[in-house]
Amino acid sequence: MNLTMDQLQGRLEENGYICEEELVVTLYLALKLGRPLLVEGAPGVGKTEVAKSLARALNTELIRLQCYEGLDETRALYEWNYQRQLLKIQIARGSCDDAALEKDLFDLEYLLERPLLKAIRAHRQVVLLIDEVDKTDPEFEAFLFELLSDFQVSIPEVGTLQARHIPAVVLTSNGERELSDGLKRRCVYLYIDYPSVEKEMRILQVKVPEAKEELARQVVRAVHYIRTHLDLQKKPSIAETLDWARALVALHTDVLTPEAVGLTLNLLLKNREDQAVLKQQVGLAGLVSQIAGGEGDLPRTACQCAHCHHG
């Protein structure tokens, strides 16, 4: 990567990712050092978007491995194309000796590339996203060590495959379980929290420019109040803030009212119990009253400079 830190931040923000100085510095150092970046934080704070925006900033492909409980290396790394191998056996029957046939059957052309192998064999640098790695088993973490340390993978029938170009690796974790020290040692670490009021205002203005400034201001204040004052099972994510704003715009809402909140609350709080908490503890009218009172006040015009380090 030949980008300067300012250029990296500029490209990220040109592609709609509003970021503060700590994130840019950490991401820049991970790229410069050739180390994976481990991004931890609550669901919905923008961890996955770091990798997506980085791929756009570097003008390269994003290869994503979505993790889940029970994920193993055959799903993450490679599988043999058994159908092609069987077809080869039928075609070659009687025309060559068994040893030569077996060697030919385990050639690279019979590999089905899964995300990890695809990133290793890519003909240019790609961004490899290993999403929600905390959902996997500790055994899978250990399997990742070779890839994250040496950017190579071992296939018994073929041998060790070195990366043609070292991918920019981003791992995300929701903190559902403690990750191993071995994994953390191989990574540059970054924690992302929910955005400040000012930062979320900038995000909303970039992503939902059709929302009038006063509505955007009220939406951001309301979401900030809900996150910080209510005991919810699931705090609203940035994506849900944006969806809520788009829904209000679609209903031609210029300012928040209790009626508008009630009609669109299901886009912000996607849990019946959390909706009940809001209605019982503060009420729809109470929420509107809180944000009208200046909770989480903002400057009249939020900064939109591409290289601003606020937020």
Give the model confidence (pLDDT) of 236-257 as tens digits. Answer: 999 999 999 999 999 999 999 9
Which pLDDT score, from 0 to 100, does residue 295 have? 46
Q: Specify the residue for token string 């900033």.
A: 57
Which pLDDT score, from 0 to 100, does residue 250 have? 97
Q: Answer for the pair 179, 134: CB distance below 8 angstroms, yes or no.
A: yes
Q: Is the pLDDT of residue 7 over 90?
A: yes
Alpha-carbon distance of 210 to 213, in angstroms, equals 9
Percent of the chain past pLDDT 90, that is, above it, reads 71
Which pLDDT score, from 0 to 100, does residue 88 have? 66
Q: Is the pLDDT of residue 191 over 80?
A: yes
Q: What mean pLDDT is predicted for residues 107-123?
A: 87
Residues in Cβ contact with 16 at an 8 Å cutoff, skipping those fewer than 6 apart: 53, 206, 207
Fold assignment, 5-73+114-191: Rossmann fold (3.40.50)
Q: Is the pLDDT of residue 144 over 70?
A: yes
Give strand pairing partners of 127: 62, 168
Residues in Cβ contact with 181 at an 8 Å cutoff, skipping those fewer than 6 apart: none
| DSSP secondary structure of 40-71 | E-STTSSHHHHHHHHHHHTT--EEEEE--TT-
The two most distant CA atoms of the chain are separated, in Å, by 85
Q: Specify the residue for token string 């071992």.
A: 154
Structure tokens at 17: 């990712």
Residues in Cβ contact with 310 at an 8 Å cutoff, skipping those fewer than 6 apart: 20, 198, 199, 303
Residues in Cβ contact with 178 at an 8 Å cutoff, skipping those fewer than 6 apart: none
Q: Is the pLDDT of residue 300 over 80?
A: no
Residue with more model confidence, 55 or 105: 55
Q: What is the pLDDT of residues 63-100, one digit of tens each?
A: 999 999 999 888 899 887 677 767 766 666 666 655 55
Which pLDDT score, from 0 to 100, does residue 96 have? 62
Q: What is the pLDDT of residues 275-292, one digit of tens each?
A: 999 999 999 999 999 888
Q: Answer for the pair 242, 200: CB distance below 8 angstroms, yes or no.
A: no
Mean pLDDT across the chain, nearest whole number?
88
Q: What is the pLDDT of residues 56-70, one digit of tens each?
A: 999 999 999 999 999
Alpha-carbon distance of 102 to 87, in angstroms, equals 13
